[in-house]
Structure 1
């Protein structure tokens, strides 16, 4: 191959790579997973924001973002709900984690929607961040009662989640093991979104389900997401190793 042709060949390859990079970047701009602050800010920018709760109807009935409609890919009349949305305007989607909302976001983009935003942390981030929400429940546990438990016990482990959260279910057997081993040395509180949404909102510290918080003498020793190394960290903290 001549020097001229080789140079032309390299330039062509570079141009193709650049083109695919630009196209991929443009596609990624259509759907953006946003943290709570920018997600909320973008909603406020819209006169009539299109908010979609991609959870199940039972979950939606208990609590949801104000103004949201409820459907996902498994909804029987899914296409009817989609037809009610304006493809030229942003759509804001959330679920518990990123599963159902992310799948729905991708499907909407395939169907010509120009901009879709998925909330990182889902409903946990929204309510846990103290944002306004609808609920038909009165919290079983108040913030005052929560603070009293923390003050009255030397060591308290708090598990915050939802009964509809798959990852939250994995925490339960670990808690049972810890409870059996520690006995009265450790107070364990389990707070579900379906029972005490307002105290989760009042704490303003939850960004995802599950969230685990360990207090000792009224102070937070650690705060973590998920069950990985949970027992190990609790054991170490109670042994004053962290």
Structure 2
């Protein structure tokens, strides 16, 4: 049987070329570099792709808000100048990365994506006011983790895909391990003060405490079987 390799090679070349072009258009940078480029770019275009509720709770000054999950996202971003740099961010970086890829497809010539999103931005800003406590306070949290049993804390958000995937089995474990392990889930959007104080910068973040001291930490998705090995 004769196999023609030319079409396959051509397709591979086109995919690689597309990826190379996109890497030139999209630049994912840390909070410090993002802030510096924002400051030095005249009339900077800044886009927050989170939900309106998240945006109203906290956002970077002068940002416009267009929800990445809205059906008309492609249409609404047309208000921006495609020939000028567009700065994009979300809460932790996942949605803005997806949005940046779509914006590149739509013809935007330069996109700066905030690595780690608003969580990293707030953690890197020592001047951010912290006198007002929103949600759980640090003393309350310290009281929660002080126990003669193991304590598992799950920092999550409703918009976080891996968090939603883990939620069902965490709920089952909470019942199955009752009396042996205390499992608590903390929504970072409802508890921004504690999130910043503990420098939680990626989701999900799971922490196991033994006698009030951190014994183990995991960032990102983990399977039920792998998590049980640490409990």
TM superposition score normalised by structure 1: 0.70
Alignment of 1:1-242 (within 5 A): 25=20, 27-46=22-41, 48-72=43-67, 74=70, 76=72, 79=75, 81-83=77-79, 85-96=80-91, 100-127=95-122, 129=123, 131=125, 139-204=134-199, 206-233=200-227, 235-238=228-231
Return the offset for 1:181: 2.4
Residue 149 of structure 1 aligns to a residue whose secondary structure is helix
In 1, the alpha carbon distance for the partners of 2:179 and 2:117 equals 35
Q: Give the structure 1 partner of residue 7 of structure 2.
A: none
Is residue 49–residue 65 contact of structure 2 (8 Å, CA) maintained in 1?
yes
Is residue 174–residue 231 contact of structure 1 (8 Å, CA) maintained in 2?
no
Return the offset for 1:157: 0.9
CA separation of 1:149/1:40 partners in 2, compared to 1, >3 Å: closer, same or farther? farther
Return the offset for 1:71: 0.9
Return the offset for 1:165: 2.0
CA separation of 1:39/1:185 partners in 2, compared to 1, >3 Å: closer, same or farther? farther
Return the offset for 1:160: 0.8
Residue 93 of structure 1 aligns to a residue whose secondary structure is strand
Return the offset for 1:31: 0.3
Is residue 96–residue 165 contact of structure 1 (8 Å, CA) maintained in 2?
no
Return the offset for 1:43: 3.3
- Residues 68-97 of structure 1: CA distance to partner in whole angstroms, max 9, x if unpaired? 2111463648645542x3444432212345
Equivalences, count = 214
Residue 220 of structure 1 aligns to a residue whose secondary structure is strand
In 2, the alpha carbon distance for the partners of 1:167 and 1:21 equals 29
Is residue 71–residue 78 contact of structure 1 (8 Å, CA) maintained in 2?
no
- Residues 120-158 of structure 1: CA distance to partner in whole angstroms, max 9, x if unpaired? 33344444x354789xx9622012211232234542211
How large is the Cα RMSD of the aligned pairs?
3.4
CA separation of 1:68/1:231 partners in 2, compared to 1, >3 Å: closer, same or farther? farther
More helix by share: 1
In 2, the alpha carbon distance for the partners of 1:61 and 1:47 equals 25
In 2, the alpha carbon distance for the partners of 1:208 and 1:40 equals 19
**Structure of greater Rg:** 1
CA separation of 1:196/1:21 partners in 2, compared to 1, >3 Å: closer, same or farther? closer
CA separation of 1:53/1:154 partners in 2, compared to 1, >3 Å: closer, same or farther? same
Residue 65 of structure 1 aligns to a residue whose secondary structure is coil
Is residue 92–residue 120 contact of structure 2 (8 Å, CA) maintained in 1?
no
